[in-house]
Amino acid sequence: MASDASTADIPLSEALSAAIALLKQRFGERLVTHDGIRRQHAHTLTWIDGQPPDAVAFAETTEEVAEIVGVAARYRVPIIAFGAGTSLEGHVNAPRGGICLDLSCMDNLLRLNAEDLDCTVQAGMPRGRLNTYLRDTGLFFPVDPGTEEATIGGMASTRASGTTTVRYGTMRDNVLALKAVLADGRIIETAGRARKSAAGYDLTHLLVGSEGTLGIITEVTLRLHGVPECVVAAVASFPTLASACDTTLAAIAMGLGLARIELLDPLTIGAVNKHAGLALAPLPTLFLEFHGTPEAAKEQVATFEELARSEGATRFTSATDEAERKRLWKARHEALWAVREAWPGLAMLITDVCVPVSRLAECVAETEVDITANGLTAPIVGHVGDGNFHALALHSPGDTEQLAQIRGFAERLAARAIAMEGTCTGEHGIGQGKRELLRLERGEAVNVMASIKNALDPLGILNPDKIFN
């Protein structure tokens, strides 16, 4: 474990042992140093090597989090918040060792205010379970990063989004208030439950997306939305990527109430056809969902079909019945697994960028050229209504040359998005993986971020080496 010479007065290993001993005494079986558990709490999902913490503490209350952070501060030991570990850029790694603070036991729905369309949950609540709890209320929490297990706290920390953003927004738009523990153990509440406020700095949105580097989020107050009266799903195949993107642009310009609009490229369509026994045309394909009253949803679907046909769509299918909707969306839902299965034994570097929607077709097209020119295999899946897309760059595990090659591809992709006034990450975050790219994207503003980090965490104990180098 590396020691942090700039902040540690005594060798970190000694401080660390003392901190762990103290926490063990206090938390007993909820402080774990077992190797298997430690490794489960390191990064496990992409090309970034796992760097396990020295211990894992399972907190049950905000006050316990404050206590654990207080010990970490006293001994200047790194502390890394952990939800479900589904982040993709090494956010939960412990490059300087230290204590992983696992929030998965803090998974209660604390309060539901149905009339105000809000609820407060503990940070460890999985988003899928929240929607199960809400099932009988006529309300739902829309942000869908693609996994039921992602915790609300983790999603807030990484400013997560996903397939429904085009209609319901990201975590930025759906977090009303936070309770958080700061680096010195202080507990703050960033806002009340009013739908809007002009009272002082927006600490809520400063913490959303701060990846555990400014404070540890322990409670989240969320906006909820009414379950739409009617949901219509649709699938449209296009002759070219540009025609799919142009249809998307036109639909957004018209203010059509699209709830989801997802693009799968022909490579991905091929994989899902094989995986799910489908027979979709191997063309750029949009998967859509419309929410509204039956009349409004029907009107939207008809308008969209007209737009799609005028852009040359070769096939347009829609469905209102739930089973039929699920069948239509099966290809999209299973895309990630289908890609894994289509190239067995290969690992994936999953990266994402986001550009202004008017630049999307161009950005994807240039990326396809890059993929072909470099002999890579990288299916593309996009939340096209937001200008956000993912490339799943396949590589042989252990082949360092190939890994270097696809890392180069991911860097070029990010630089391309930045040059188009976009961002190096629409929803995955910076973590360890995109620190240089953040610098490329935001320049001087990164120094401002670092000043804030330094002001709120002068010892640098909160999730060190994330966001900043």
Q: Which positions from 402 through 441 interact with a copy of itself, judged by CB under 8 A?
A: 417-418, 421-430, 434, 437-438, 441
Least distance to a copy of itself from the beta carbon of 72, Å?
19
User: For a copy of itself, which is the closer residue by CB, 52 or 382?
Assistant: 382
112 touches a copy of itself (CB under 8 A): no
Of residues 105, 109, 110, 117, which one binds a copy of itself by CB under 8 A?
117
Mark residues 201-230: x for contact with a copy of itself by CB under 8 A, - for none.
xxx-xx-xxx---x----------xx-x--
DSSP string, 73-133: HHHT--EEEESSS--SSSTT--TT--EEEE-TT---EEEEEGGGTEEEEETT-BHHHHHHH
User: For a copy of itself, which is the closer residue by CB, 54 or 118?
Assistant: 118
Tell me, by CB under 8 A, how many residues bind a copy of itself: 91
In angstroms, rounded to a whole number, what is the distance separating the alpha carbons of residues 365 and 338? 23
174 touches a copy of itself (CB under 8 A): no
How remote is the C-alpha of 190 from its chain's centroid? 22
200 touches a copy of itself (CB under 8 A): yes
193 touches a copy of itself (CB under 8 A): yes
Cα separations in angstroms, 419 against 9, 429, 448: 44, 18, 22
Least distance to a copy of itself from the beta carbon of 6, Å?
18
Of residues 8, 72, 100, 446, which one binds a copy of itself by CB under 8 A?
446
94 touches a copy of itself (CB under 8 A): no
Is residue 150 within 8 A of residue 160, CB to CB? The reply is yes
Least distance to a copy of itself from the beta carbon of 358, Å?
4
SS3 state at 148: coil
Task: Output DSSP code: residue 31.
Answer: E
Least distance to a copy of itself from the beta carbon of 74, Å?
20
Is residue 140 within 8 A of residue 227, CB to CB? The reply is yes
Provide the residue type at 3 as one letter: S
Least distance to a copy of itself from the beta carbon of 141, Å?
14
User: For a copy of itself, which is the closer residue by CB, 76 or 428?
Assistant: 428
User: For a copy of itself, which is the closer residue by CB, 127 or 275?
Assistant: 127
1 touches a copy of itself (CB under 8 A): no
User: For a copy of itself, which is the closer residue by CB, 161 or 402?
Assistant: 161
158 touches a copy of itself (CB under 8 A): yes
Return the residues of window 307-326 that contact a copy of itself according to CB under 8 A.
Answer: none
User: For a copy of itself, which is the closer residue by CB, 52 or 426?
Assistant: 426
Mark residues 347-366: x for contact with a copy of itself by CB under 8 A, - for none.
-------xxxxx--------
Q: Give me the sign of the Cα torsion angle 401, 402, 405, 407.
A: negative
163 touches a copy of itself (CB under 8 A): no
Least distance to a copy of itself from the beta carbon of 166, Å?
8
Cα separations in angstroms, 262 against 30, 162, 201, 235, 302: 42, 10, 35, 9, 18
Choose the stretch contacting a copy of itself; rule: CB under 8 A; options: 184-192, 236-244, 273-281, 372-380: 184-192
243 touches a copy of itself (CB under 8 A): no
Of residues 308, 456, 461, 462, which one binds a copy of itself by CB under 8 A?
456
User: For a copy of itself, which is the closer residue by CB, 37 or 45?
Assistant: 45
SS3 state at 315: strand
Provide the residue type at 306 as one letter: E
In angstroms, rounded to a whole number, what is the distance separating the alpha carbons of residues 118 and 137? 12
Q: Which region, left, alpha or beta, applies to residue 429 given φ > 0 means left and ψ of -120 to 50 means alpha?
A: left
**β-bridge mates for residue 252, sequence order:** none
Is residue 95 within 8 A of residue 88, CB to CB? The reply is no
Query: Where would I find the beta strands (DSSP E) of 333-429?
Result: 347-354, 380-383, 388-395
Least distance to a copy of itself from the beta carbon of 146, Å?
14
Return the residues of window 4-33 that contact a copy of itself according to CB under 8 A.
Answer: none
Q: Output phi, psi for 204, to 5 deg.
A: -55, -50
**Six-digit token pair at 448?**
């401002």
Cβ neighbours of residue 169 closer than 8 Å, sequence gap 6 or more: 143, 161
SS3 state at 266: helix
User: For a copy of itself, which is the closer residue by CB, 215 or 266?
Assistant: 215
Return the residues of window 284-303 that contact a copy of itself according to CB under 8 A.
Answer: 292-293, 295-296, 299
Nearest CA among 407, 413, 462, 405 for reference residue 440 = 413
Nearest CA among 161, 156, 159, 167 for reference residue 226 = 167
User: For a copy of itself, which is the closer residue by CB, 54 or 386?
Assistant: 386
User: For a copy of itself, which is the closer residue by CB, 32 or 424?
Assistant: 424
Least distance to a copy of itself from the beta carbon of 205, Å?
4
Q: Output phi, psi for 365, to 5 deg.
A: -60, -45
**Six-digit token pair at 39?**
């490794």
